[in-house]
Structure formats: C-alpha cells, structure tokens
Amino acid sequence: MQHHTLHSDNTILVITGPTASGKSSLAHELARRMHGEIISADSRQIYRQLDIGTAKPSREMQEEIPYHLLDICDIGEEFTAWDFIQRTSNCIHDIRSRGRQPIVAGGTTLYIQGLLQGFTNLPAKDPAIRARLEEEIRNEGPEALFRRLEQLDPMQAATLDPSKTQRLIRSLEIIELSGKTVTELMQQQEKEKPGFNMHPVALSVPRGILYNRINERTDTMMEQGLLEEAKNLHEQFGQRLIESERINALETVGYSELFDHFNGAISLDEAITLIKQHTRNYAKRQLTFFRNKLDLFWMPPPDTN
C-alpha cells in the first residue's frame, strides 16, 4: 500500500476497523492534534434519535471537535452508500477550504469500500424482482434466501447478516438482473472513484479483548439509558413494525432486540445477551469484509492492553 503524508494537499486519513475497536477515540484525539474535523462513516449515526445505541460521539466531543454526517436523516429516510460518498466529498472540500484537516472515521463496510475503491455501476433496482424476493422472505424466511446466496456468491454472503434482508435482497436482485454476482461485478468493472488519495488505517484488536470491549460497552449503554431511548422509539414506530413495515434504521443491533423485549417475545436479560452476541457477530463480519476485500494498513489502537 502506498503511504502519503497526511498533510499533503490531496490525502485523507481514514480510520476504520470493527465496532468497539477504538476508532472514535483515536479520530477525536488526532483531530484535536491536527486541527482536524471528523466525517462519520457510520450508517447508523446518520439518524436522529439513534444516539446511545449507535455510540454516537457525546455532546461534549461534538462541541470540542466539528463532526460531519451525524444526525442528518430522520428514521425511515433512505441514505445510500453513494449518498455518503457525495456528502463526504462535499465535506472534504468544505473542511479544506477553511484550512482544516478532514479525518474520516467509521466502520460501515460499504462506505469505506466506496471511499477506497470507488463504486461499481450496478444495475438499477427492479421493483417487481424486489417484491417477489420480499414475498419469498415472508413465506420462507430470510435463511432460505441467504442459503441461496451462499451457493451463488459465497464471498458476498460472508459479509452479510442473514437476518438483515436489505443487502440480501439487493445481492440476489443484482444476480437476476445481470447474470453476474456482486463479487464478479466488483472485480470486473471500472469504478468511479472519489478524487482524493486515501490513507486507510484499520485498528486491529485481539478477538478476546474486542469481545470483552463489546460486552462492556453494551452494559455501559444500558447504564446510559439505552432502554429508555429504545422505548421512546418503540412507542413511535412499534405499531408500524408490527404491521410488517420495514424500517431499516430500527433493524440496528441494540434496538431490534429491545423491541422484541417490548413486544413480549424475550426477557430483558435475554435481549441484553442477544445485543452482545449480535454485536460480536457484526464485528466478525466487518473483519471478514475488511481483510478479504480491502487493502488496509492494520495497527493496534493506542490503548490496547
């Protein structure tokens, strides 16, 4: 991987890695030292009302360092990886125009991939195919479609959560429309890239330490009021979810499990256990994606024990 001077005119520091690896604290400290501003690469922190459960930077942190792409969408509003790239490009130009240093920090895999590798020209969405796939999920469950994708595109399947159907449907839709898998298309096509040199750093934490951090962070979130935050959201949106409406933002780990608790399906202790388990599963999928699909410079975070 090429190395660049971080203060060169066209180079952007990108800090990524699995959830709970210390990205936010490192980015904040570097921004403090480098006269920097932080662009969040987190597809959940874009939503208003999702604060504690997304580990959004605190009010104090946001008052000390300017943050971008936090709280820019209402729950239910669509925001794609392409939207992220366009908004990030605008942020970079704005930050630089004021003589400050942009730092991108976050772990949303498609956001980081788009920044580093550009975007493949994938076929447009097809409402008829999507409706049929959604009907299949209702009838057969997401596991059946996930197994189908594992057969057709195992590399793509390894990066997906079988219970989160948005990317699963999109992956199968692309195969039907193009006759090729997402993995094949990503490898074959020329991609449209942002016009910046990226210096990507990924934080590597030993798995045992990472999983302990995830468990401890979940307990801290509960102490900070995650239950109340989720309860307020459930009161606003719970009925729409019961009526089978899909709201992507509320499928976020930490909220979906507590919604199941509020609906009487599981106890609170079971919900907390599942939040920890599902977050560990998410971290594992992030690592699979980063190691298999991206060329990153791996380093331990400064505070690793």
Q: Where are the domains of the chain?
A: 11-120+193-205+290-299, 127-188, 208-284
Average pLDDT over residues 119-132: 84
Residue 252 and residue 50 in contact, taking contact as beta carbons nearer than 8 Å: yes
Each residue's pLDDT tens digit, 34-48:
999 999 999 999 999
- What does the mean pLDDT of the chain come to? 91
Residue type, 19: T
Angle of CA points 197, 201, 207, to nearest 5°: 155
Report the C-alpha gap between 37 and 232 in whole angstroms: 31
Least confident of 77-91, 159-173, 184-198, 243-257: 184-198
Q: Residue 5 — pLDDT band, cuts 50, 70, 90?
A: very low
Least confident of 158-162, 197-201, 204-208, 228-232: 158-162
- CATH code given to domain 127-188: 1.10.20.140
**Claim: this prediction has a pTM higher than 0.85:** no
Is the per-residue pLDDT at 14 higher than 60? yes
Return the pLDDT at 202: 98
**Surface-to-core class of residue 9, CB atoms within 10 Å of its CB (0-12 exposed, 13-18 middle, 19+ buried):** exposed
Is the per-residue pLDDT at 13 higher than 90? yes
Is the per-residue pLDDT at 223 higher than 90? yes
Q: Residue 280 — pLDDT band, cuts 50, 70, 90?
A: very high
Return the pLDDT at 245: 73
| Residue 56 annotated as binding site | no
Q: Residue 190 — pLDDT band, cuts 50, 70, 90?
A: low
| Residue 256 annotated as binding site | no
Question: Which residue has better confidence, 241 or 192?
Answer: 241
- CATH code given to domain 208-284: 1.10.287.890
Write a three-state SS string for the chain.
Answer: CCCCCCCCCCEEEEEECCCCCCHHHHHHHHHHHHCEEEEECCCCCCECCCCHHHCCCCHHHHHHCCEECCCCECCCCCCCHHHHHHHHHHHHHHHHHCCCEEEEECCCHHHHHHHHHCECCCCCCCHHHHHHHHHHHHHHCHHHHHHHHHHHCHHHHCCCCCCCHHHHHHHHHHHHHHCCCHHHHHHHCCCECCCCEEEEEEECCCHHHHHHHHHHHHHHHHHHCHHHHHHHHHHHHHHHHHCCCCCHHHHCCCCHHHHHHHCCCCCHHHHHHHHHHHHHHHHHHHHHHHHHHCCCEEECCCCCC
| Residue 24 annotated as binding site | yes
Q: Residue 99 — pLDDT band, cuts 50, 70, 90?
A: very high
Return the pLDDT at 216: 98
| Largest pairwise CA distance in the chain | 55
How far is the first Cα of the chain from the last one, in angstroms, to the nearest whole number? 27
Q: Judge whether 11-120+193-205+290-299 and 127-188 match in fold.
A: no
Write the CA distances from 234 to 49, 229, 247, 261, 263, integer angstroms.
12, 9, 12, 10, 9
Return the pLDDT at 4: 36
Compute the CA torsion angle 113, 44, 282, 60 (nearest 10 deg): 100
Q: Residue 302 — pLDDT band, cuts 50, 70, 90?
A: confident
Residue 289 half-sphere exposure, CB side, CA atoms within 13 Å? 23
Is the per-residue pLDDT at 8 higher than 60? no
Q: Residue 2 — pLDDT band, cuts 50, 70, 90?
A: very low
Report the C-alpha gap between 106 and 39 in whole angstroms: 8
Is the per-residue pLDDT at 193 higher than 90? no
Q: Residue 119 — pLDDT band, cuts 50, 70, 90?
A: confident
Q: 11-120+193-205+290-299 adopts what CATH topology? A: Rossmann fold (3.40.50)
> Residue 199 — φ and ψ, nearest 5°?
-110, 90
| Residue 22 annotated as binding site | yes
| Residue 18 annotated as binding site | yes
| Residue 193 annotated as binding site | no
| Residue 225 annotated as binding site | no
Return the pLDDT at 74: 96
Q: Which of 144, 171, 142 is nearest to 156 (CA)?
A: 171
Average pLDDT over residues 127-143: 91
| Residue 21 annotated as binding site | yes
